[in-house]
Amino acid sequence: MTVEVGKKAPEFTLPNQSGNQVSLADFKGKHIVLYFYPKDMTPGCTTEACDFRDQYESFAELDAVIIGVSPDPIDRHQKFIDKHDLPFLLLADEDHKVAEDYGVWKLKKNFGKEYYGIERSTFIIDKDGNLQQEFRKVKVKGHVEEALTYIRENL
């Protein structure tokens, strides 16, 4: 399956930080900011999550929900939420199937080592479940504002 702007976003069901099953379809009728990030508690991912937290009300005013996805287990997600007071769902994609469906599970290189992991990416999904915008190879600085501006101006 491939993701394509203008087409239906790939459906999925994953456990959230509390162990409850969450599906993309649960949010039909709302805009969805689905962001994939590499790892809880790391500097870039913490900055990104806190930026989303700080703009949470602005997204809510636009009828948009924020959902974070990483391969971390649910207990690590809960610690991340507790430590940084995150008001949105974090979903555990431990087998990285959803990341693969969205094309963000990539071969990465770091300090001469190759490994597979999440390529930081955000997908804006409209109220009907269609992918409206994708941000790939995201740089954390300024990204949340960029996503917010896109929703404000286009949806």
Alpha helices by DSSP H, the chain: 43-54, 56-61, 74-84, 97-101, 143-154
The two tokens of residue 86 are: 């995150």
How far is it, in rounded angstroms, from Cα 142 to Cα 37? 15
- Report which of 89, 116, 120, 109 is spatially closest to residue 24, judged by C-alpha positions: 89
Q: Is 45 tagged catalytic?
A: yes
Closest CA to 36 of 135, 151, 107: 135
Burial (CB < 10 A; 0-12, 13-18, 19+), residue 82, is: exposed
DSSP state of 9: P
Q: How far apart are CA 2 and CA 155, in angstroms?
A: 23
Question: Which residue in 45, 66, 90, 98 is the catalytic one?
Answer: 45
Active site residues: 45
